[in-house]
Amino acid sequence: MSTTRRQFLRTAALATAGAAATPLLRTHAAQPPLTNPKSPILPSASDSLPNPKSPIQNPKSPNLLFFFPDQMRRHAMGFTHEDPVITPHIDRFATQSLYLPQTTATFPVCTPWRGMMMTGRFPTATGLINNCNSTRPNLYLRREERCITDVLHDAGYHIGYIGKWHLTRPRAPYLPQGPGRTDGIAWDEFTPPEDRHHIDHWHAYNAYDEHLAPRYWDTHSSRDAHRTYDEWSPQHETDRAIAYLENTAGKHRDPAKPFALWLSMNPPHPPYNQVPGRYRDHYKGKTAADLLRRPNVRLEAAGKPAATAVADYFAAITGVDEQFGRILATLDRLKLSDDTIVVFTSDHGDMMGSHALMGKPHPYDEALNTPFLIRWPGRIKAAATDDLLLSAPDLMPTLLGLMHLRAQIPPQVQGADHSPILLGHDSAPRPAYAPYMDSTAGGHRGLRTHTHTLCLAKQNHPTEPPVRLYDNRTDPYQLRNIATETPALVATLTAETRRWLARVGDPWT
């Protein structure tokens, strides 16, 4: 293990106590705030973790199905009883899964999150510090990065990727963009096979927001051979994923290999209104007041569009839920469920009128706090909740840890392997905070603990305070900035933020 990674784990493992898993839906015991600067530093994971003596009975490598809609906030899962959204399949899946309600997007924007998910590294390390499009020709996932798919390939996996990619830079001459794209900026692009990081089965696109007329490239398509389909993209992608899972006559994958399939859906990402009427019907007659129940919603300024968008946002989520249900039913039908790790998550949330904002990137929970449910029957506890502060760079090492590939985690990975926690080793070290960042030039840095969110702005920001601190226990809607009242806590969390920035080489300060 490299010095960098060791240091990272050592610092990221600031102790928090009493974080054992609790049953699903039980109100979670709040963690003490990180007020004591002398918080003990745990040894690094490699020093202290029980090298998990695999309790595995079956030496077979598990399959992975990584399902992630775009821009779906944690609150938009019915079982959370937060948003009034209809998600019966996710709700049922939660009863079979471990739920990590404190999961955060780290950098709640498409490309940065996808880069962290693929590489286990922060955007400042990979250069993926904003969305890929034609205005940022140097921003793309480098061929030299070692991604989770590269590791899985070397471990003998067959790898599929279906849906939105958004890690490729558009190249001139630019391809025609969708009819909804009127800003003259190119977003969509062909991803050459050598830039796919060993993904074997490809039915994907870069960034193309035409949910009812999506277009894709296949594994062997040339750049000009993209094809548009007259279907809602999640339905189309689910059909493709089911075909991949069924693998009739070995057409899509090598049946002798374990598989890892990413299913990356664009909805509920805008344009919100591109959603089939059959899902919109679920919310017919509901007013904005019926649907926007969060007390921090202000339908003014930038938050105004939420009044009309929210029904469509929830309708898209109900549609995504239906597709997720089809995937789960397919795994059952093919008797793959027991051998497949299924993850349900999203790259970030959506403000949807909260704090008079829409979309992302913002330090508030509506944008930052993402769904995370993981199921592995017999291995990961079902119908359970754990308050692990899971960050986006942790996804890759944690999944590799679960898949018996801990030794193959690349040394340059900056995230932590939390697989021991997911497998029930309650004494494993836990992070005391999850970092937060958004755009690099101006933008913000901060962190979210189990109890508080700190957000630091550049001093020259004209419309907001340089420091925001929220107590998420007493003020879950983050309505009251307590920064001036709690200078000691601000100082502690600011110092921790600066240590993190220094560790990952972020030049923001």
Q: Cβ 62 to Ca ion, closest distance in Å?
A: 27
* Contact flag: residue 116 with Ca ion (CB under 5 A): no
**Segment (H or E) for 67:** strand 63-69
User: How far is it, in rounded angstroms, from Cα 79 to Cα 92?
Assistant: 9
Could you give the CA distance from residue 253 to residue 246 in angstroms, rounded to a whole number? 10
Q: Contacts with Ca ion: how many residues (CB under 5 A)? A: 3
**Which window, 248-256, 344-352, 365-373, 454-462, contacts Ca ion (CB under 5 A)?**
344-352
Tell me how far apart the alpha carbons of residues 269 and 456 are, in angstroms, rounded to a whole number.
27
Query: How far apart are CB 174 and Ca ion at their closest, in Å?
Result: 21
Overall size of the chain counted in residues? 509
Q: With beta carbons less than 8 A apart as the criterion, state whether 267 and 355 touch.
A: no
Min separation Cβ 418 and Ca ion, Å: 23
- Residue 192 CB, shortest distance to Ca ion, in Å, is 23
Residue 145 or 347: which CB sits closer to Ca ion?
A: 347
Q: Interface with Ca ion by CB under 5 A: which range of 39-47, 63-71, 218-226, 248-256?
A: 63-71
**Helical packing angle, 233-246 and 306-333, nearest 10°:** 10
In the bound state with Ca ion, the residue whose beta carbon lies nearer, of 105 and 489, is: 105
Q: Is 151 in the site for Ca ion (CB under 5 A)?
A: no
Cα–Cα distance measured from residue 168 to residue 188, given in angstroms and rounded to the nearest whole number: 8
Other C-beta atoms closer than 10 Å to the C-beta of 136 total 16
- Where in 66-85 is the site for Ca ion (CB under 5 A)? 70
As measured in angstroms, the least distance from the Cβ of 45 to Ca ion is 30
CB of 232 to Ca ion, least distance (A): 18
Exactly one of 19, 42, 77, 110 binds Ca ion (CB under 5 A); which one?
Answer: 110
Query: Shortest CA distance to 145 belongs to which of 181, 120, 170?
Result: 120
- Which backbone phi and psi does 253 adopt, to 5 degrees? -155, 165
Separation CA 444–CA 508 (nearest Å): 8
42 binds Ca ion (CB under 5 A): no
Q: Write out the binding residues for Ca ion, residues 250-279 only, by CB under 5 A.
A: none
Cross-strand pairs, 375: 342
Unique residue bearing structure tokens 């950098």: 107
User: Residue 252 half-sphere exposure, CB side, CA atoms within 13 Å?
Assistant: 22
Applying CB under 5 A, the span of 26-34, 102-110, 115-123, 458-466 interacting with Ca ion comes to 102-110
Whether residue 268 is preceded by a cis peptide bond, meaning omega within 30 degrees of 0, is yes
Which CB sits closer to Ca ion, 70 or 210? 70
- Residue whose beta carbon is closest to Ca ion: 110
Sheet holding 22-23, edge to edge: 22-23, 384-385, 98-99, 372-375, 340-345, 63-69, 259-265, 158-164, 201-205, 215-218, 227-228
Residue at token pair 């200078």: 487
Smallest separation, CB 71 to Ca ion (Å)? 5
Task: By CB under 5 A, tell whether 438 contacts Ca ion.
Answer: no
Residues 345-374 that bind Ca ion (CB under 5 A): 347
User: Pattern 284-323, binding to Ca ion, x per CB under 5 A?
Assistant: ----------------------------------------
Please report how close the Cβ of residue 266 comes to Ca ion at its closest, in angstroms.
8
DSSP letter at 177?
P
Nearer to Ca ion among residue 70 and residue 150 (C-beta)? 70
Contacts with Ca ion, residue ranges (CB under 5 A): 70, 110, 347
